[in-house]
Structure 1
């Protein structure tokens, strides 16, 4: 695909997010925009329904987001925009590498998140939830290490301006 070319939305997929104990956490529809073999680019359809099952809520998607999932990485990255398609933030979820099959992408959420704002601030979120769930659900040491390593990888990629953050030019 040529740089700067944005494809029309592709087929409708479903995102399924679970917690480590297997509980359904979040579901939402997404359009597949591109699959280069190692990374999938998906986009939220405006008006689609987000179901946040662990909070017992659902809502219509009113702001666009592009979402990037790598088949072998312990994180995914959402690029969130406002209603006018102006960049708002990156929201990076730490989780097990995704499973991809038959129009569905699913992953296990490991609680830790990294949010990067338009002014360049980066915040690590939900460390308390991670600490609680690693005990409650018995995260193995290897999972805990990989989750913390994913946070460090995301921060290093942000600081260096590497993909998936290369196109965004505001750095701390």
Structure 2
């Protein structure tokens, strides 16, 4: 797999299990790009929903994608601290100047004090039945939720102290 280069602009594309496009973040800048990890950033970027509605992100965000883990992490810099939104998803692929992944509805929302909530279990159950997720996928996703919770508890990877701030400082060196 080819990796995006630092400083390049990419789209982030989220799909559903049935292959339908779910959501697109129009423009993010790559801060680090390898075949295994992509770290990107955006601020006030346009997001297009599958039904055509659009909205603009409210704050700077650092995005962490890993080719081996079934989740991605978005660290949002707000006035009262860093909030994380973690999508339980397929590992990413980089293709056609875009990061692509399958969103499996389940999300972990993490607050500045590192407490968290698991969100959208009802939506996951509905889509699991509609799209006939295989049993093995269910186990993979819930195992990755446990891995993600351990990362939060251990302050690992994108949850380590200073991670989001360090990458945000790098983001500020780029001029769009």
TM-score between both structures, scaled by the size of structure 1 = 0.84
**1:71 matched to 2:67:** yes
Q: Partners in 2 of 1:62 and 1:157 — Cα distance?
A: 26
- Residue 48 of structure 1 deviates from its aligned partner by 2.4
1:54-92 CA-to-partner distances (Å, cap 9, x unmatched) read 5x521123311000000111000000112x6x6331111
Q: Counterpart in 2 of 1:93?
A: 87
Q: CA deviation at 1:20?
A: 0.9
Q: Which residue number in structure 2 is paired with residue 21 of structure 1?
A: 18
Q: Which runs of structure 2 are paired with 1:90-129 in the superposition (5 Å)?
A: 90-129=84-123
CA contact (8 A) 2:109 2:119 kept: yes
**Which residue does 1:6 correspond to in 2?**
none
Where does residue 60 of structure 1 map in the other structure?
56
Instruction: Describe the SS at the equivalent of 2:159.
Output: coil
Contact kept? 1:79, 1:87, Cα under 8 Å: no
* Moved >6 Å (runs of 4+): none
Structure 1 residues without counterparts, runs of 5 or longer:
1-8
Structure having the higher helix fraction is: 2
Choose from 121, 124, 133 the match for 2:127: 133
TM score, norm. by length of structure 2 = 0.82
Aligned residue pairs, count: 157
Residue in structure 2 matched with residue 4 of structure 1 by the alignment: none
